[in-house]
Amino acid sequence: MQNLSKARIYRIKCQGFSGYSDEDVSQLAFANKFPVVICATLLAIGVALASIPILSFLLLVSFLSLILPYNPFDYLYNFGVRKLINKPFLPPRSRQFKFACTLATLWISLHIFLFAMGYTTAGYISGGLMFCVPFLVATIDLCIPSMIYNYLFNVKIE
């Protein structure tokens, strides 16, 4: 088992892994953040360049995450990366993750609109603020949208 703190395990469980043992959560920690790191990187590049094509691709990824059982980058992890690093298969994504992707889809749409309309300063500010969300997931496993979901729907974490 990786040496994950109880606080970190709790934060991962808040993202929809509450029915899993601490050992299972530790094994899935990397897989959980794998698509988040890719999406955060694309977001940073898309916002920094005010690139509507990159942000549109990210919007598609975010939207597909709503309708598919996995984020598109989870498929890359499950059928490629995990075999190389000998980790378990990532289960389908939780309602918390889907809620986060719903918010991301709306927020990325706003970035695209702002950049398309020439409001680049507002696009940079909005994009910078949005980048903080996946950055927290990628670094300390803290997912603000999951916390909001759990509060709104009275989800108890085991």
Does some domain include residue 158? no
Q: Answer yes or no: is 97 within a domain.
A: yes
Asked, for residue 18, whether it belongs to a domain, the answer is: yes
Q: CA separation (Å) from 92 to 12, 31, 68, 75, 124?
A: 15, 12, 9, 10, 33
Residue 37 reports pLDDT greater than 80: yes
Residue 109 has pLDDT above 60, yes or no: yes
> What confidence tens digit (pLDDT) does each residue in 44-83 have?
999 999 999 999 999 999 999 999 999 999 999 999 999 9
8 Å CB contact between 157 and 28: no
Q: Which residue, among 55, 65, 132, has the nearest Cα to 94 in the 3D structure?
A: 65
Is residue 30 in some structural domain?
A: yes
Whether 105 is covered by a domain: the verdict is yes
> Reduced to 3 states, what is the DSSP secondary structure of residue 17?
helix
At residue 81's C-alpha, the angle toward residues 79 and 70, to 5°, is 50
User: How many other β-carbons are positioned within 10 Å of the β-carbon of residue 46?
Assistant: 24
Q: How confident is the model at residue 133 (pLDDT cuts 50, 70, 90)?
A: very high
Work out whether the CA dihedral 52, 54, 55, 56 comes out positive or negative.
Answer: positive
User: Token pair of 17, please?
Assistant: 């892994």
The domain tally of the chain equals 1
Q: How far apart are CA 118 and CA 104, in angstroms?
A: 21
Domain assignment present for residue 117? The answer is yes
Q: What is the pTM of this model?
A: 0.94
Helix ranges restricted to H, the chain: 6-12, 22-48, 52-67, 72-76, 82-85, 95-116, 120-140, 144-152
Per the structure, the complete domain to which residue 50 belongs is given by 6-152
Would residue 1 count as lying in a domain? Answer: no
Confidence check: pLDDT of 3 > 90: no
